[in-house]
Amino acid sequence: MKPVLFEIPGIGYGVPGYGVCLMIGFLLSIWWAGRRALQSRADPDVVLNCGFIALLGGVIGARAMYVWHYWEQFYPRESLGQVIWGILGVWNGGLEVYGGVIAVVVGVLLYLGLTRRSIRWYLDIMAPSAALGMAIGRIGCLLNGCCWGGACDLPWAVRFPYGSNALVQQWNDQAAGAGLPQQLLADAGVAAQPLSRDILRVSERQVTQAQEAVDAQRKRIGQLRTRLATAGASEKPALARQLEGEERRLRGLDEQHHAVRAQMQKYGLTFGQLRELAAQFRSRPVHPTQLYAAITLGLIAWLLSAVYWRRTRDGQVICTFLLIEPPARYVLELLRADNPVDVGTLTISQAIAVSLSAVGLGGLLLLRRLPPRSPRAVPFEPPPGSAAGAAARARA
C-alpha cells in the first residue's frame, strides 16, 4: 500500500499512486486501441475522442455512484462547501467501477450516434483496451488500500499498514480497544477510533507549528478579552466582533492535528514515538482482491483482443466483454470485505453484474439478426498529406 508515490520537490505535493495508475491505464489503453484502429482501417481520431469521453465519464460516473452509495460519508457536514469538497475529493479514493462503466457507455453511444459512426465496430475496437485500463486501475486500488478482501491465511495474503481501511474495519468489527493500544485510539465523541493515517503522515515540525499557532491564538484572544473589559462603549461592538472572529479562527486551528496532539500530551509521547508505535501494527492477512481483479481483467483484455481479430460479426467483442467480465466481478465480490450487502442478498456491484451479463447475452443473440458487418463500418481514408495517410501507404 502506497497512497502517495512521491512528493514533488519544492511544493511538497504528494502524487497519489491511484491517480498515476489511472493515467497510465488511460494512456496505454488509448495507445492500444489506436493501434488496433489503424490496423483495422478505422478512424483513430474517433478512438481518441472516445478515450477522452471514457476518461471523464469514467471518473465522474464512478465517483457519482460511490457518493450516492455512501452518501452518509459526505452529509451532513458543517457547511455546503465541505460537502462539495468531500464529493470532489477523488484523490482520497472512492470510485465504484460500474458507475463509470455505465457513464462511459452512455457517453460513447451518444458520441458515436451523433457523429453517425458504427457503434458496433468502434465498441469492439475499444473493448480490449477498456479491460486493460480497468486492470491497471485495480493496481491503483492496491496502492490506495481500497477494495480490500476478507481475512484469509493463504500464502499470498497481504497485510495493510496502520490506518488503512482494512485495519480500521477489522478494528471496528472487534470489541472496543481490541487489537490496538490506547495511545493510538483517539476519542471521537461517541467511541474511540484509530488515529487517521493522514494525521500520522505529516512531519513532526507541522505538528509543532500547529501547536505554536494555537498557543499564539489563545494569547491573542486573552489580550482582546482584556481590552474588551476596559474598553469604552463606542469601542466594545468592534472589539466584540473581532473577538468572535479570533475565537472562530482558534477553533479552526485547534482542529489541525488536534487528535494526535491530544494523544501526545496524554501519554507523554513525542510525535516520532507515536509514528513508530503505529508502524508496528498492520491488518490481519486478507485476500489481495485488487490483484485478483487486475490479473482477471488482464486475461480478459488478452482474450478480447484475440476475439477481435477472429470475430465474424461486428459487436461480438463488446458483447463478449459484457458477458464474461460481470461473472468474474460477481465471484470477486464474495471475497471482498468493503462492499455491504444492500440489494437483497447481493452487493450493488453483484446486482449490476447480473444485469450486464444479461445485456451481453442478449446482445450476442441480437447480433444473429443483424448484418455481420455494420453498415456504418466504412474504412477510414486519411488525408494524403497526414501522418496517418503516410502510415497507411507504408503498410500498403
Q: Which residues contact 166 (CB under 8 A, 6 or more apart)?
A: 145, 148, 160, 283, 286, 337
| Percent of the chain's residues with pLDDT above 90 | 35
What pLDDT, on the 0 to 100 scale, is given for residue 76? 61
Over residues 301-332, the pLDDT tens digits come to: 999 999 999 999 999 999 999 999 999 999 99
Half-sphere exposure in the Cβ direction for 49 (13 Å, CA)? 14
Over residues 223-258, the pLDDT tens digits come to: 888 888 888 888 888 878 887 877 777 666 555 567
Q: Identify the residue with better confidence: 178 or 50.
A: 50
Answer yes or no: do 151 and 239 share one domain. Answer: no
Nearest CA among 108, 124, 117 for reference residue 50: 108
What pLDDT, on the 0 to 100 scale, is given for residue 349? 87
Vertex 131, ends 125 and 136: CA angle to 5°? 130
Answer yes or no: do 88 and 8 share one domain. Answer: yes
What pLDDT, on the 0 to 100 scale, is given for residue 207? 67
CA–CA separation, 379 and 37 (whole Å): 10
Answer yes or no: do 19 and 61 share one domain. Answer: yes
Measured between alpha carbons, how far apart are the two ends of the chain, in Å? 48
**Do 183 and 263 meet the contact criterion of CB atoms below 8 Å apart?**
yes
Q: Which pLDDT band holds residue 363 (cuts at 50, 70, 90)?
A: very high
Whether the pLDDT of residue 57 is over 80: the answer is yes
Q: For residue 203, count other CB atoms closer than 10 A to its CB.
A: 12
CA–CA separation, 208 and 307 (whole Å): 60
Answer yes or no: do 14 and 145 share one domain. Answer: yes
Helix-helix angle 271-279:204-230, to 10 degrees: 140
CA–CA separation, 258 and 265 (whole Å): 11
Answer yes or no: do 317 and 300 share one domain. Answer: yes
Over residues 66-122, the pLDDT tens digits come to: 887 777 666 665 566 666 766 776 666 667 777 888 888 889 999 999 999 999 999
Over its C-alpha atoms, the chain yields an Rg (Å, rounded) of 27
**Do 319 and 367 meet the contact criterion of CB atoms below 8 Å apart?**
yes
pTM of the predicted model as reported, rounded to 2 decimal places: 0.77
Q: Which pLDDT band holds residue 201 (cuts at 50, 70, 90)?
A: low
What pLDDT, on the 0 to 100 scale, is given for residue 394? 53
- Please identify, among 249, 279, 309, the residue that sits at the C-terminal boundary of a domain: 279
Nearest CA among 289, 273, 278, 361 for reference residue 97: 289
Q: Which amino acid is at 277?
A: L
Please give the average per-residue pLDDT across 341-357, as a whole number. Answer: 87
Vertex 25, ends 67 and 302: CA angle to 5°? 115
Over residues 267-299, the pLDDT tens digits come to: 888 888 888 888 888 888 999 999 999 999 999
Whether the pLDDT of residue 190 is over 60: the answer is no
Answer yes or no: do 292 and 275 share one domain. Answer: no
Answer yes or no: do 353 and 250 share one domain. Answer: no
What pLDDT, on the 0 to 100 scale, is given for residue 93? 61
What pLDDT, on the 0 to 100 scale, is given for residue 133? 92
Note down the domain range covering 82. Answer: 4-157+285-377
Answer yes or no: do 133 and 193 share one domain. Answer: no
